[in-house]
Amino acid sequence: MDWEELQRTCLECRKCELADTRTHVVFGVGNREAEVMLVGEGPGEQEDLKGEPFVGRAGKLLDDMLEMIYLDRTKVYICNIVKCRPPMNRDPLNTEQDACSAWLKAQMELVRPKIVVCLGRIAASALIDPEFRITRQHGQWFDKNGVKYMAVYPPAALLRDESKRPETFVDLKNLQREIKASCVKTY
């Protein structure tokens, strides 16, 4: 499946009840040949309205986080575990994650990233380890089939709790070092 077919079929998806309440499917944005892929948990209200991941205040903070390590949305690919907004921004249910898993898997196969950054516990639980603990394991590297995975606090959590920002900065600098070591075309 190529990008156009994948996006077209994803936009038509009705595999779970989230399709009934969404405004837009939030497919993904960025460089489709990126060496670094960022994966969040799911769209919030602003993302659902615009049809793009990480917009609004959380998106601005994510852009600032990327800028700190000399990245921007043209150098990474950004998507979510689920492509439709869970009501009231609740955590996506396992059934909803399962319904979207083929879309994310296909995106990952097309991008073929060297590094995957999970933005939050839900993404890390889905992609790194079901028992992942963001408070204890953020910033640590995990190797899965030759791809390096790391989780950081998601921008929305950093907006709610600014005390997590210093440790997130350390995690971002760790990410920057790994990108310089592992990626050829990112910088």
Percent of the chain residues past pLDDT 70, beyond the cut: 99
Q: Which helix (H) or strand (E) holds 48?
A: helix 45-50
pLDDT in tens, 20-32: 999 999 999 999 9
State how far the Cα of 90 lies from the Cα of 29, in Å rounded to an integer: 23
Q: How confident is the model at residue 168 (pLDDT cuts 50, 70, 90)?
A: very high
Q: Is residue 79 scored above 80 in pLDDT?
A: yes
How many helices, marked H, and strands, marked E, lie in the chain?
Answer: 9, 6
Residue 87 has pLDDT above 80, yes or no: yes
Q: How far apart are CA 152 and CA 137, in angstroms?
A: 9
Amino acid at 124: A
- 113 contacts 77 by C-beta, under 8 angstroms: yes
pLDDT, averaged across the chain: 96
The three-state secondary structure class of 45 is helix
- Whether CATH 3.10.560.10 fits 3-182: no
The confidence band for 112, taking pLDDT boundaries of 50, 70 and 90, is very high
Using CA atoms, how far apart are residues 87 and 15, in angstroms rounded to an integer?
16
Give whole-number Cα distances, 23 to 74, 85, 90, 107, 183, in Å: 25, 8, 16, 22, 36
d(CA 115, CA 117): 7
pLDDT at 186: 67
| Phi, psi at 160, each rounded to 5° | -75, -35
| pLDDT above 90 for 185 | no
